[in-house]
Structure 1
Amino acid sequence: MENLRFMLNPHDSLTPIYFGSKQQYLNVTFMANDPGYVLSKEAIQRFYELLSSISPPENCNLDGYGNEDIELGKCLQTIGVLPDNRVLYSQRLFISLIIGFIAGLSIGYFLVITSDPNYQYYLYHKSMQIEDYIEVSSNNIIEHVHESENTTIAETLYDRVKILCWVITEPQNHATRAKYVKQTWGKRCNKLIFISTEDDEELGAIGVTPKIPQYWGITISTLQYIYENHLNEYDWFLKADEATYVIVENLRYMLNSHNSDVPIWFGSKHQSPEADYNSRGAGYVLSREAVRQFIENVLPSPKPGCNIEGYGYDDFELGLCFKTINVINGDSRDSEGRTRFFPLALADHLLSQRDGPKDWFYDRIYYKTGFMFTIEFVIYHLRPYGIWSMPFDIPTEKYTLEDELRLVKEAEKDRIIV
């Protein structure tokens, strides 16, 4: 609404005009129903007078039949109500307005509508995509600066909490899915590497050849690579997939209070009779000490219950192995008990499109509870006009090992008993 008010501010409500996503059909100009449209006071007054007229114009159907947006456009044309004029405001503002509407309902709905060939056919102005509002530099990294923003705290945390991000990919996805990670959230990591079966210098992919080419085997090989090449350069090591989106600034803020010299890992905490683990779909982050202990204490002589052959899923197997060496599965929720790691699609979490207790997610979740460019735009570039968020203070003290154990114990009150 803030952006809508800002857009309407220079316009006079006594002018017969209306705004929206401008479409055309034959000789009719109208505003599409799905994104919504807004009419001036004078436009409403004229339409009301039209309804009261004895003989409405021939092209205006007042019987109630037909498509609302098209029929309204026909009638408004006959009484001199103007469709919006983009010269009076910027396209960037209007796309922010439209996406603001949609974010309130469903982030993905706009993409569904605009992918409809009929929508594109009727569209009045050039169809704009999310990428048109985010600049991509020559090295394929998104670089778009909001001059009025203060990033001091984010920059401070960038230097204070050093994160290496590793993303699992495949050669056929280097130029597509993996590239989108690099262009969006991946650039905010202190270091970003892609783990694949082939080297790719342009992408930053490292080819690994695990004994068993399954998720767990690849993860073991990756942890060995990190231990040998980067262990002392970074504090935390984030594992993600091509479909994962991470707000790295928020991750740093969460990790700032934790000590990377404590053997601990965080993620979307799930449970099984064998061990608690962090779901791979949401990504998980390991402390430097957790990586060190896995390489030095697990691989040379694994204890019963820990499989290092490489078969299986990395999240569950890592949970089993960490259990044998007492690596803490930390509570990643915020101070209000709200979840920070989400393993499912955005719509599943926002719109609760799951089957309830019979669903695997609810069966294994520990606590009660894309579109890369779209998420990038909504999080980092869409702003309600006139509203600015104040950053939180950065905590200066870090949790000790005893603190971590206490926090995990306190979180047990929210555990779902299965």
Structure 2
Amino acid sequence: MDIATLAPLLLVVLFGTLAAGLWVGFALIAVGLVAMAAASSAPITLVFATKVWGGLTVWDLTALPMFIWMGEILVRSRLSSDMFTGLAPFTARLPGRLLHVNVMGCALFAAVSGSSAATTATVGRMSIPELRARGYDEAMVIGTLAGSGTFGFLIPPSIILIVYGAATEQSIARLFLAGVVPGLLLAGLFSGYIMLWSLMHRDRMPAAEPATSLSESLSAAARLLPVIGLIVAVIGSIYAGVASPTEAAVIGVLGALILALATGAMPLRGVWDSLRAATVTTCMISFILAGAAFLTVAMGYTGIPRGLAAGIAQMGLSPYALLAALTVFFIIMGMFLDGISIVVLTVSIILPMVMQAGIDPIWFGVFLVLVVEMSQITPPVGFNLFVLQTITGRDIFTIARHAAPFFGLLVLAVAILSAFPQLALWLPGTMLNR
């Protein structure tokens, strides 16, 4: 079967199986089976067993369950709620006041969870009731949280960066370093928008609250110390070269357990619940990776990746035109698939043509994560939207409308990163090339 006929058939199989409610891992395997049956005489069962085993026995992936477990521990402990109390006094004099807590809280929690959905759910459970009670505009409360929740994908330790690094054989330590400055840039853009909005809509801001004393501010700040200490222990050990990402993940789990149990922030039952939830999430991601590993080799047999790369090369697109086309492509994909599925499904096809265009694979990993972040707040399949729908009771399209300005800021961040690639490459080049 020729490529022109096979490619549409595989798309029909993919979206047909997904529309039928099949798990993403099964859907990827189904597409791979159809591809191999149509384009190759190789033994399918042998190829399947070999690639699934090879795709899952990657040492870098051992960090994945540990970082997921660390996030689950924090979700169930009082340490996460302490972040809201600790951050609130420091935003009182900023235009927008407590709306900045969503941005800062998500940035802090993302640095110890690595998960966008966990970041949104944890900070949302804390901040939404507090901000509603104080009379803050609901559209901004929901919008800031939906946008800032995406930090879990970018700010290290990012689960999706681990997946990208394992799939492309890139250094996870370099990817983590590359995500730091773009993550801070995105947080700055969000906070800047909040300040601008609050100055333009003073009538929609609640009355200022009484100023807190210095002693009250210091007492609140003390609640941040355990979480900040955990961030320093995990991220600092990687950046200092003391621990690999996998070893740092173990440090993070041990630190979270010690802090949660020593402070009475979580009962022993919570340890079991967190372990069970982390196991379920890890199995889900591993199953998607197994399906993607098989699909990757099956696509190689079809020749579609080579044909696609050759076709784009013949178009003579400049790197910027290629990135613009990929941005639109990933936004459309994000309307139907979650972020990890997008990465594992497309990276084996996209990366060769990206490298052929002279684009650094580490930089492209950060670019890809930024674009995939948009999928978290685009209907109909936007995980952050689903999380906020559960917390707020609002319908998903209302939440998406409130999140629209922050979608625009994500697009702006992609444009800035494309214009100034050193934003992602400077830190890993400085710290790991010494």
TM-score interval for Structure 1 and Structure 2 normalised by the shorter chain: under 0.3
Q: Which has the higher helix share?
A: 2
When the two structures are superposed, what TM-score results if normalisation uses the length of structure 1? Answer: 0.26
Give the TM-score taking structure 2 as reference length.
Answer: 0.25
If you compute each CA radius of gyration, which structure gives the higher value, 1 or 2?
1
| Structure with the larger RCO, 1 or 2 (CA within 8 Å, 6+ apart) | 2
Richer in strand (by share)? 1
